[in-house]
Amino acid sequence: MLKFLVPLYFSVNALFIYKYGARTPIGSYFGVLLYAVFLAVSLPFYLKFLGSKIEKLKNAHFAAVYFGMLALFVFFALFLLFKIDPYSIDVDRWSAIHGFLKNLFAGEFPYSARSHLGSMASPLPVMNFIAIPFYFMGDVGYLQVFTFALTALVVFLTPASKSGKILFMSAFLLSPAFWYEVAARSDMVSNILIMCVCLLLIEKNTNGKPLYYPVKTGCVCGALFCTRGIFIIPFTVFFFAKIVSSVKEKGTGKPFIFTMCVILTFALLLLPFVLWDITLFTQNNPFLMQTNKSPTVVSVIAVAVAALLSFNAKSVGRSFLRTAICLFVLMGATSAVKTFTFGWDAAIFSHKFDITYYSTIMPFAILGMFYDSENLLT
């Protein structure tokens, strides 16, 4: 799987370097070249030499290395959050959540809030609820630190190779796209990491048979849908083939219960905001922001591709890989349409297409690499 995942990983990070490297003395093209050379040297070195050394570490020594890397991330992430004035950057996902929660606790309709750049809040209610502790801590940017630390802990507790776990940590720490999300206080990658953790826990707690527990699994998936609509892609990859197989083998009972739990959980979590003020909700709701990012036909094609690829997703790692591919198809096709319409410079540098949506690919690609760790040293 690495032959697919490494190019995905490089492409996403190279795009960030290309766009934002233009603002540095290094420049766009030279920055991408340096990153390509770095990966071309460091990855083979890790796979052929360092990985085998890591496998031989005693558990205590390995834990010290792993959590030392996590501590390094926490330190630099907090440094960036303290150093960068959030109002000085042209990214407003953090202030959209902040405004939503500020209105909520003031008794005002939450979705009527605007970010510091004048945009509506795009996350669905559950993502805003998850950010509540960090809102009261004074900075919703802490959410990114927490979600990565949580994901790192789940990965550490997963029975897998030590080299794979270090690869997981290194891939995030060496990702310019990920550090951009941290510095911008964006909740995008945090949202995707929460999805990944929940999918991992579903697979673990159901022994790979999530439809055997349709109520529990359906409620969790319904809540994930109520964070961002993009969950439709991993949901389809992870569950569509299982639903079809279950219907063929055992009838429609459990798939129906599962589907209804997804729908009802989503509806119940959203309903209070609809009933709060139907008129205001019609004029100010997250669907207005989430459905204008990609042409409808492109979104439909991406979901159809996800449904087809789900039939060959025989493992968690393959499911993560196929999710990353589908998201790349979605983002790539959308950016191609924008480039054709507005031109390359306008699409990339004038924000006609927000390249930060490519960052949604990263957690799935990296976790795919992690789950391929058994083949890393062969």
236: CB partners within 8 A, 6+ apart: 303, 306, 307, 310, 326
| Structure confidence by residue, pLDDT tens digits, 111-167 | 998 888 878 888 899 999 999 999 999 999 999 999 999 999 999 998 888 888 998
- Which H/E stretch holds residue 225? helix 214-225
Confidence class of residue 212 from pLDDT cuts 50, 70 and 90? confident
Q: What is the pLDDT at residue 377?
A: 43
For residue 236, what are its two tokens?
Answer: 């389809």
Q: Minimal CA–CA distance to 193: which of 157, 210, 168, 174?
A: 168
Asked if 274 contacts 281 with a C-beta cutoff of 8 angstroms, the reply is yes
Q: What is the pLDDT at residue 350?
A: 67
Compute the distance between CA of residue 317 and CA of residue 373 in angstroms, rounded to an integer: 10
Mean pLDDT of the 305-332 span:
90
Side-chain half-sphere of 284: how many Cα atoms within 13 Å?
18
Coil, strand, or helix at residue 123?
Answer: coil
Compute the distance between CA of residue 161 and CA of residue 155 in angstroms, rounded to an integer: 10
Q: What is the mean pLDDT of the chain?
A: 88
Q: What is the DSSP string of 27-41?
A: -HHHHHHHHHHHHHH
Compute the distance between CA of residue 72 and CA of residue 55 in angstroms, rounded to an integer: 21
Q: What is the pLDDT at residue 378?
A: 42
Residue numbers of the domain that contains 49: 2-375
Tell me, what amino acid is at 204? K
| Structure confidence by residue, pLDDT tens digits, 242-276 | 999 888 887 788 899 999 999 999 999 999 999 99
Q: Phi first, then psi: what are they for 293, rounded to 5°?
A: -90, -30
| Structure confidence by residue, pLDDT tens digits, 283-297 | 888 888 777 777 888
Q: 94-108, 156-170, 214-228: which range is least confident on average?
A: 156-170
For residue 357, what are its two tokens?
Answer: 């949506």
Mean pLDDT of the 363-367 span:
92
**Residue 324 clears pLDDT 70, i.e. is over it:** yes
pTM: 0.92
| Structure confidence by residue, pLDDT tens digits, 333-359 | 888 888 888 887 777 776 677 788 899
Q: How many structural domains compose the chain?
A: 1
